[in-house]
Amino acid sequence: MDTFHLKTDEKVHLIGHSTGGLVIRKLIANSKYVHKIGRCVLIASPNKGSRLANIAGNIKPYVEIYKTLKSLRYESVAKLNHNDETDIEMAAIAGNHNNLLLGKLIGGVNDGRVEVESVYLPHLKDFMILPYGHKDIHHQPETARWVDAFLRTGKFQ
């Protein structure tokens, strides 16, 4: 599909969890339809890369099994440039409930998979931290309420 069937003034809002947020950023960087994208919310997305992916990426069998690890490493994510000249309003939600052994391995404040500092980007319109882990933050009613608020108003309220 290479066309959007939207009215002239309609825009699509996008929400992505984890790698899904990176897919949104890639779309924004490379799409000829960027003018049709309204607001975006990135949930627990490793926007600056993943320390865990960098660690696991040094273990060859892991890279063979988990092919997406390469795309989550610092140097790969650094290539996803956001075009600040767009009208897209973007926000991010990070989690800080580290209940996994992997979270202990990566250190810092994290959600068990992604560090809070990696979720934050300077050009975000809004940013918040919720008390959830990586595998459940996107299933929480509270997260859905904050996403809805941002998509409606352009800020977390």
Given this model, what pLDDT does residue 74 score?
Answer: 65
* pLDDT(98) > 90: no
Distance CA 81, CA 59 (A): 28
Q: Which of 11-25, 69-83, 87-101, 102-116 has the highest mean pLDDT?
A: 11-25
Own/partner long-range contacts of 137-141 (Cβ < 8 Å, ≥24 apart): 137/17, 137/43, 137/44, 137/93, 137/95, 137/111, 138/17, 138/43, 138/44
Domain ranges of the chain: 12-151
pLDDT, greater one: 156 or 6:
156
Architecture of domain 12-151: 3-Layer(aba) Sandwich (3.40)
Q: In 26-100, which ranges are E strands?
A: 37-43, 89-95
Angstrom CA distances, 83 to 2, 86, 88, 102, 127, stand at 21, 6, 9, 33, 18
Least confident of 8-17, 78-87, 148-157: 78-87
Given this model, what pLDDT does residue 38 score?
Answer: 93
